[in-house]
Amino acid sequence: MASLGLSRWRKYVTPYLFLLPTLIIMIVFVYHPIVENFRSSLYNWNTFSGQENWRYVGLDNYRRVFDDPIFYTSIKNNIWYAVISVAVQVCFSLGLAALLESTLLSRFSSSFFRTVLFLPSVLAVTIIGITWMLMLNPSTGLVNQVLDEIGLAAVKHTWLGEEGTAIFSVIGVSQWQWTGYVMILFIVAIQAIPHELYEAARIDGANGLQQFWHITVPGVRETFLVMTTITVIGAFKVFDIVWVMTAGGPNHASEVLGNYLYRVGFRNDEMGYASALAGVMFLITFALSFAQIRFNGTMSRETE
């Protein structure tokens, strides 16, 4: 009886022992910093002040966040980033993947376009950013020169120097870099769909668009939902490409939350306010992730 009880105890405890190292790492490197960030956001302090010189201000840093016009500009830009990224990186990539997996293109053409479209995603963000800064240069850049040559000189802009075009130029470059990567993930998902479904649809007279809508889209639903979640969260965490191309300018017009947080914390040395911004940023991404996970779960249950 004693050995039976010990066996049950081991069976009960063993899974938790395997989970314990991961749990400890998560507590030390994820959950503890979150709690510590919230504590830091309740004080005014900088990198040169010891903790004994921190000044307690309660929720004043959070009140300042919601009175800060640059914060709302950043939120608006992050929302634009998310909406355009979902439309291009997720929806348009799915269309591209279906086209490259169809019989409309030869095998050589399909392989060629996969390689060409995927290539930007393996390049470093700094290389991408600097290259496009040169291409978008208003006087010597390729983009304005091409517009001149095709008779569209009226739509020329100082793309990264005007408040109305800076953030959309950066978002466009980001789509150029990552669309091919998401497309490859959709191609893998499409290849997992049983080919017999397409053959049966063709025998029944379904055209390419009907096959895409009734077979491909339901077949990649899980990948679609996961990619949407990752893309939206990524849009609210974006930092590198914006910092390389515009650093949030001109006049904060292309500022995003990640950028603004860095500027406040490491340029202005207002660590308490930066901690409050980080807390708000965490709550936004957490709420979006939670809502999407719930939505994904509801969609999965409805289709079972």
Q: How far is CA 198 from CA 54, 66, 71, 177, 207, in A?
A: 66, 53, 49, 31, 10
Count of beta carbons in the 10 Å neighbourhood of residue 201: 16
Q: Which amino acid, one-letter code, is at 18?
A: F
Whether 5 shows a pLDDT value over 80: the answer reads no
Tell me what percent of the chain is helix, strand and coil, each rounded to the nearest 5.
75, 0, 20
Q: What is the pLDDT of residue 2?
A: 60
pLDDT digits (tens, 9 = 90+) for 114-160: 999 999 999 999 999 999 999 999 989 999 999 999 989 888 899 99
pLDDT at 106: 87
pLDDT digits (tens, 9 = 90+) for 71-99: 999 999 999 999 999 999 999 999 999 99
Tell me whether residue 294 is exposed, middle or buried, using C-beta atoms within 10 angstroms of its C-beta: 0 to 12, 13 to 18, 19 or more: exposed
Give the CA dihedral 157, 160, 161, 165, nearest 10 degrees.
60
∠ CA(274), CA(279), CA(280), 5° rounding?
100
Amino acid 51 reads: Q
Rounded-to-integer distance, Cα 97 and Cα 188, Å: 9
Closest CA to 286 of 25, 59, 58, 30: 30
d(CA 249, CA 246): 5
Tokens of 171: 């978002």
pLDDT band at 303 (very low <50, low <70, confident <90, very high): low
Look at the alpha carbons of 121, 126, 131, 135 in this order and tell me if their dihedral is positive or negative: positive
d(CA 9, CA 11): 5
